[in-house]
Structure formats: structure tokens, C-alpha cells
């Protein structure tokens, strides 16, 4: 997730675009840049935070576009920072999204010189080709986006152009209509201090934005996109109108997952493209995968371990990273150590990864942050592409981790000959349907809130699940604990009766993850055991006929091994609304940090 902004009008563009970028900083902050157009295009860009961007004290341009980056292709370097230009430097482009087919476009443009590792750079080169064929900028951008596969929100300007052209496909873009000029941005936060009159572009829209006018085109004709007045304050706008980043990030999951999966699945052949090149011989001789991770990332690892054993036929253990040194390191030559870490900076996880590497194991980082320590130090890396997560409680990154690790399972299973194309296709088809299934759960938020409000006076909570539902039960309990400060524990459904059942009363509700068909009869027996002790039971279920055992049931759509991941979204919303009703500091819970950089 990156942030883009553009302004054209009567005022100097430099301070407006620079401030707009600062307002978008929460969308990405590993590099930044601005292109100013006063008849000729000047580009200023570099890696690092927006405050560190070297800009001229003054500039006469009244048109500019800017970008703050969250890397997906290429390290956060000066060369990879946006805006990107063609060879002449006349065409400047800022982009949010991922161009899936950039490699094939790049080879088509073999006569052009590329200076970055980004997917974006193909865009100015394509635009330049069309401009040199005599097209105007609008037609050149229209012709260019016809060639692009993937997601994009772009703004393009060129020397001699009044204003810029913008286009959107699967990435947000909003127009701002001011008195002295017009704006475009990834969200309204960027320009809220200048105008509250906005219109939202839709997929397939292209717009020509000048100081005097905004014209939106779709399928070759002009269209009206209604102008609305935003009444949010800046703080709320940054959170997309939600009260907390955590809630915004829960709701971002369908979009984040589309980005995670973009260009990586072939549901027909059952293959995945993770830009990963583990030698086939190495994978075939692999005896064990060891996942090292902490907290939520550890739960994602536990989910993945069950998939890897089932579909890739490889023994997989999951260690709490801080405990790895006491257990890991067996037979390192035939062990792949997978470090799962959102931030890529968690000290315990880095320490486990380093220990594995020094023992001779190959290491693979699964992380959200391009250029993080884990990404740099591991032998191989796969990015989960969830975009920045601000809330301390991990939500969308858990979903993106499990989705990425499911793809890794398919990759390893296919390479080892353990997974047929048909079974792989089913897993991938479920991944493809995952964003839509999660949206169905998000649409049930009102009902989840009601149940949460009814239970805020409880003494404590238990979460239970079997097989893939167990890691999700643990994750549900962790989420509730960390933001509501109410005690909660997650258990394997069959384990409660071995002691903890003694604590179950009418004041300790039980949330049961009833999904993926793993011994449903036994799991329902476990539910009956707690129900008969008087505990309210809330089921998150894809099973038939469970209602009679439950006080409340939330239905999870059929999605095979991904059902528990969908169920987890109910648990996230539940935790959020309990904590919200209790007035907790949801985005910054007491005693916790987003990234724990000490052992």
C-alpha cells in the first residue's frame, strides 16, 4: 500500500504536495518523491522518510504529483522511489498497486533503458511510446492501461501538459474539487485541509485533471462521478472514517489479500509463482521445515504447519522463536527454517533465524516489510504484501501470512511431487475466493458487535478449535487479551476436558471455531461439555445443524482449509467490539509495542 497525491491549480504545488505526502505517511514510509511540472518536469525522490526528502526551498510549478512508498517490488532505494520517468525524464508517474505482467512488458520494451527494479517503471516507458506516436497524454494513458494486468492507481504528468491524467483499477483513488485547483489522492486525508468536496473514481475510470476542470472517462465516454462533502476530521479520515486503525485494518482484509495473491496463482494448473527459487533437489531431500515466529505470526505458522504436513508431505514443527535455541538445529542440512514475521524486526525471531543459519540450515523469511532485517538476512524471502499495519494488534497481516503460507505449501508440495495439480487447484481456487468470503463476514459486523456488547462483563473467555481451528482459537484469545485486557485462553477443542473444564462457568463464555470438517462430531461433544456447565457458547461455524448446541451461531461460508481463517475475522471483530465497549486504548494497548526489538 503506497500513497499518491496530485495537485494542479493557482497555488504553488510544492508545499501542497509535500504536506499531502506527510498526511499519507501512514500508507507507507520507506521512500518518497515529488514531480513538479511548470512546463518541464523536475523530479525529487529518495529512500527514507518524507521528512528526509531533499526538496528545493521554492519552485514555480503549480502542478505536481507525489508518492510515499511501501515497497513490493525492489528494495527501498533512491532508484526505486517514485515518481518514475521515461528515459527523457519528460513523463513522470506515481503508482499504488502491483503490475503483475511487468516482466513481459519490460522485455517488450527492450530498447528502453530501465533504472529501477520496480514494476511501475514500465508505465512511463509505455506512455512515452504512445506520446511519440502522436497521442495526447489522455490517449497515451488510456492505451497504456489497456496493457496493464494487476492493480493500479496512477497519476501521470508530462512536460508541456496542463495538469495530469489519473487512472484506477483495484486501488483507491479520490478526486478533490477545490476553489483554486483540483486534487487526486489515495485517500482524502492528503488534501482535506484544502477541500472537502470529493468524488470517488471507479475501476476502469481515467480522468484528466487540470486547474480549471476534472473530466472523468470510462469505456471511451465521459461519466459523472457524484461530488460528496466529507465531514470527517483529519484524524478520522486517516483511519478511513473508522474509529481505530485496527477496525480499518480488519476491514481492509479483502483488499489486502487481493494484493497478497495478485499475479501469484494459476488456478488451472495448480501452480504458484512466489518468485522463489528453492532447488528441486534440495526440496526433495528436505526432512523437516521448522517455523520460528512469535505471537500472531506463530499462530500463522501453526496453521501453515498443518497444511505443509497434509499437502506437502513434510514434517513441520513450529517453535516459539525465543525457545528455538533450546530445541532447534536438528539435522540442519535437511531443514528449511521459515521465519514468519510481519515486521521482519522481531529480535526473538531474528535470533532464532541467525542461530539456524549458523548451524547450516537454509532460511526463508515470510515478512511484510521489504528491506527489513529478516528479509535482508534470510537466504530467501517471500513478501505477504499486506500494506502497512498501524494497529499494534495484528489483523490483516495474519490473514496475509496464512494466505502466503498456503501458497508456499502449494509450491513445496508441487516441487516435491506430493501434491497433484487437481488438489493444488482446489487450494488455489479457495484462496481466490477468500477475499469475497471475508467480505461476507465483515458484512455481519452489527450482529458481532451485539454479541460482544452482551458479554463484556464476563470473568474470562475460552476459545476452542480443532486442527486448523486450533491456531485460530489461540489467535482469537490473543486478540481479545491484548486489546480488552480480559483473560482469554485458546485450546484444542479436545483438551479442555483434561483440566481447564474446571474453570468453565456461566461467566466464562466459550467461542468455538467449528470449521473445516475435522472430526466435527467430537468437536460438538466438546461444545456440549461446556454448554452443560452453563457457559454461553458462541459458534463460528461452517458445519450443518450446529445451531441447537449453540447460544449464538455465526455462519462461515464453505472454503475448505481456509474456513478457520474466515472464522478468525469474526473473532477479530468480537475482540475489537469488546475492547471498544470497555473504552480500551485499542490501537496502542498498554505495555505493548508493534515491533518487539529486544529479546
Which of 71-79, 114-122, 161-169, 386-394 is the region at the interface with ligand M6R (rule: CB under 6 A)? 386-394
Helices 253-261 & 396-415 angle (0-180, nearest 10): 30
50: helix, coil or strand?
helix
Which of 154-162, 292-300, 353-361, 531-539 is the region at the interface with ligand M6R (rule: CB under 6 A)? 292-300
Q: Given candidates 260, 342, 425, 484, which one binds ligand M6R under the rule CB under 6 A?
A: 342
Which of 85-93, 103-111, 340-348, 405-413 is the region at the interface with ligand M6R (rule: CB under 6 A)? 340-348
Of 111 and 591, CB closest to ligand M6R: 591
φ/ψ (deg, to 5) at 11: -95, 170
How many residues interact with ligand M6R (rule CB under 6 A)? Answer: 15
Contacts of 377 (CB under 8 A, 6+ apart): 350, 353, 354, 357, 363, 365
Please give the Cα distance from 67 to 59 (Å, whole number): 18
Q: Given candidates 359, 390, 442, 596, which one binds ligand M6R under the rule CB under 6 A?
A: 596
CB of 352 to ligand M6R, least distance (A): 11
Q: Given candidates 34, 257, 393, 493, which one binds ligand M6R under the rule CB under 6 A?
A: 393
Regarding 343 and contact with ligand M6R (CB under 6 A), the answer is: yes
CB of 370 to ligand M6R, least distance (A): 14
Catalytic residue among 106, 497, 588, 594: 594
Of 208 and 402, CB closest to ligand M6R: 402
Query: What letter would DSSP give residue 113?
Result: P
Q: Determine the residue with CB nearest ligand M6R.
A: 295
Q: Given candidates 312, 392, 408, 566, which one binds ligand M6R under the rule CB under 6 A?
A: 392
Of 118 and 296, CB closest to ligand M6R: 296
Nearest to 3 by CA among 150, 177, 183: 183
CB of 488 to ligand M6R, least distance (A): 13
Q: How many CB atoms lie within 10 A of CB 222?
A: 10
Nearest to 421 by CA among 410, 406, 432: 410
Of 62 and 72, CB closest to ligand M6R: 72
- State the alpha helices, DSSP H only, in 133-238: 137-147, 234-238
Of 94 and 393, CB closest to ligand M6R: 393
Of 393 and 419, CB closest to ligand M6R: 393
Query: In degrees to the nearest 10, what's the CA dihedral of 463, 467, 471, 472?
Result: -60
Please give the Cα distance from 21 to 391 (Å, whole number): 20
Regarding 346 and contact with ligand M6R (CB under 6 A), the answer is: yes
The CA-based angle 483-484-488, given to 5 degrees, is: 100
Contacts of 297 (CB under 8 A, 6+ apart): 340, 341, 342, 346, 349, 394, 398, 401
381: helix, coil or strand?
strand
481: helix, coil or strand?
helix
- Where do the DSSP E strands lie in 91-136? 91-99
CB of 374 to ligand M6R, least distance (A): 8
Which of 112-120, 172-180, 341-349, 580-588 is the region at the interface with ligand M6R (rule: CB under 6 A)? 341-349
- How far apart, in Å, are the Cα atoms of 158 and each of 5, 93, 138? 16, 9, 11
List the grid coordinates of 321: 522463536
Site string for ligand M6R, 63-102 (x = CB under 6 A): ----------------------------------------
Q: How many CB atoms lie within 10 A of CB 285?
A: 11
CB of 298 to ligand M6R, least distance (A): 7
CB of 386 to ligand M6R, least distance (A): 11
Please give the Cα distance from 278 to 255 (Å, whole number): 29
Regarding 47 and contact with ligand M6R (CB under 6 A), the answer is: no
Q: Given candidates 32, 294, 338, 473, which one binds ligand M6R under the rule CB under 6 A?
A: 294
Of 86 and 475, CB closest to ligand M6R: 475
Read out DSSP for 445-464?
Answer: HHHHHHHHHHTTT-S-EEEE
Of 81 and 393, CB closest to ligand M6R: 393
Can 294 be counted among the known catalytic residues? Answer: no
Please give the Cα distance from 466 to 551 (Å, whole number): 20
Site string for ligand M6R, 453-482 (x = CB under 6 A): -----------------------------x
Catalytic residue among 2, 45, 248, 294: 2
Please give the Cα distance from 83 to 92 (Å, whole number): 6
Can 594 be counted among the known catalytic residues? Answer: yes
CB of 320 to ligand M6R, least distance (A): 10
Regarding 484 and contact with ligand M6R (CB under 6 A), the answer is: no
CB of 132 to ligand M6R, least distance (A): 46
Catalytic residues: 2, 594
Q: Give residues in contact with ligand M6R (CB under 6 A).
A: 294-297, 341-343, 346, 349, 392-394, 482, 595-596
Amino acid at each position: 500500500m503506497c500513497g499518491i497525491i496530485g495537485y494542479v491549480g493557482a497555488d504553488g504545488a510544492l508545499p501542497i504536495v509535500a504536506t499531502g505526502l506527510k498526511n499519507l505517511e501512514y500508507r507507507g514510509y520507506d521512500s518518497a518523491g515529488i514531480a513538479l511540472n511548470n512546463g518541464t518536469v523536475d523530479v525529487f525522490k529518495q529512500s527514507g522518510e518524507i521528512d528526509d526528502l531533499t526538496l528545493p526551498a521554492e519552485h514555480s510549478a503549480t502542478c505536481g504529483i507525489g508518492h510515499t512508498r511501501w515497497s513490493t517490488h525492489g528494495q527501498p532505494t533512491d532508484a526505486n522511489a517514485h515518481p518514475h520517468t521515461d528515459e527523457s525524464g519528460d513523463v513522470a508517474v506515481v503508482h499504488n498497486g502491483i503490475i503483475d505482467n511487468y516482466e513481459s512488458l519490460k522485455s517488450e520494451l527492450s530498447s528502453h533503458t530501465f533504472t529501477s527494479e520496480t514494476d511501475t517503471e514500465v508505465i512511463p516507458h509505455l506512455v512515452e511510446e504512445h506520446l511519440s506516436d502522436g497521442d495526447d497524454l489522455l490517449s497515451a494513458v488510456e492505451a497504456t492501461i489497456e496493457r496493464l494486468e494487476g492493480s493500479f492507481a496512477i497519476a501521470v504528468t508530462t512536460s508541456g501538459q496542463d495538469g495530469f491524467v489519473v487512472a484506477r483499477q483495484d486501488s483507491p483513488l479520490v478526486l478533490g474539487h477545490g476553489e483554486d485547483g483540483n486534487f487526486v489522492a489515495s485517500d482524502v486525508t492528503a488534501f482535506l485541509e484544502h477541500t472537502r468536496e470529493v468524488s470517488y473514481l471507479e475501476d476502469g475510470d481515467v480522468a484528466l485533471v487540470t486547474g480549471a476542470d476534472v473530466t472523468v472517462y470510462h469505456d471511451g465516454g465521459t461519466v459523472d462521478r457524484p461530488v460528496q462533502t466529507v465531514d470527517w476530521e483529519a484524524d478520522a479520515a486517516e483511519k478511513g472514517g473508522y474509529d481505530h486503525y485496527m477496525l480499518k485494518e480488519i476491514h481492509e482484509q479483502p483488499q489486502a489479500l487481493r494484493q497478497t495473491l495478485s499475479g501469484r496463482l494459476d488456478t488451472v494448473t495448480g501452480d504458484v509463482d512466489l518468485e522463489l527459487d528453492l532447488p528441486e533437489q534440495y526440496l526433495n531431500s528436505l526432512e523437516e521445515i521448522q517455523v520460528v515466529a512469535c505471537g500472531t505470526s506463530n499462530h500463522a505458522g501453526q496453521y501453515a504447519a498443518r497444511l505443509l504436513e497434509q499437502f506437502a508431505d513434510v514434517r513441520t514443527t513450529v517453535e516459539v522463536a525465543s525457545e528455538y535455541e533450546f530445541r532447534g538445529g536438528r539435522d540442519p542440512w535437511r531443514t528449511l527454517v521459515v521465519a514468519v514475521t510481519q515486521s521482519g524486526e522481531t529480535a526473538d525471531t531474528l535470533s532464532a533465524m541467525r542461530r539456524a543459519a549458523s548451524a547450516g540450515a537454509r532460511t526463508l523469511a515470510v515478512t511484510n516489510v521489504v528491506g527489513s532485517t529478516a528479509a535482508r538476512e534470510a537466504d530467501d524471502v517471500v513478501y505477504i504484501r499486506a500494506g502497512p499495519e498501524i494497529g499494534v494488534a495484528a489483523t490483516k497481516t495474519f490473514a496475509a501470512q496464512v494466505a502466503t503460507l498456503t501458497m508456499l505449501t502449494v509450491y513445496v508440495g508441487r516441487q516435491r511431487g506430493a501434491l497433484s495439480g487437481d488438489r493444488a487447484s482446489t487450494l488455489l481456487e479457495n484462496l481466490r475466493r477468500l477475499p469475497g468470503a471475508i467480505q461476507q463476514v465483515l458484512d455481519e459486523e452489527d450482529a458481532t458487535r451485539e454479541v460482544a456488547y452482551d458479554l463484556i462483563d464476563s470473568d474470562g473467555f475460552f476459545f476452542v478449535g480443532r486442527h486448523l481451528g486450533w491456531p485460530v482459537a489461540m489467535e482469537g484469545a490473543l486478540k481479545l487479551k491484548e486489546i480488552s485486557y480480559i483473560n482469554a485462553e485458546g485450546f484444542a477443542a479436545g483438551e479442555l476436558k483434561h483440566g481447564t473444564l474446571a474453570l468453565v462457568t456461566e461467566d466464562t463464555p466459550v467461542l468455538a471455531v467449528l470449521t473445516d470438517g475435522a472430526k466435527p462430531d467430537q468437536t460438538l461433544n466438546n461444545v456440549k461439555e461446556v454448554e452443560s456447565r452453563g457457559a454461553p457458547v458462541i459458534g463460528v461455524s461452517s458445519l450443518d445443524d450446529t445451531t441447537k448446541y449453540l447460544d449464538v451461531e455465526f455462519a462461515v461460508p464453505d472454503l475448505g482449509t481456509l474456513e478457520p481463517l474466515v472464522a478468525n475475522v469474526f473473532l477479530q471483530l468480537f475482540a475489537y467490539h469488546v475492547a471498544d465497549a470497555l473504552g480500551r486504548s485499542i490501537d496502542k494497548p498498554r505495555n505493548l509495542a508493534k515491533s518487539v526489538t529486544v529479546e
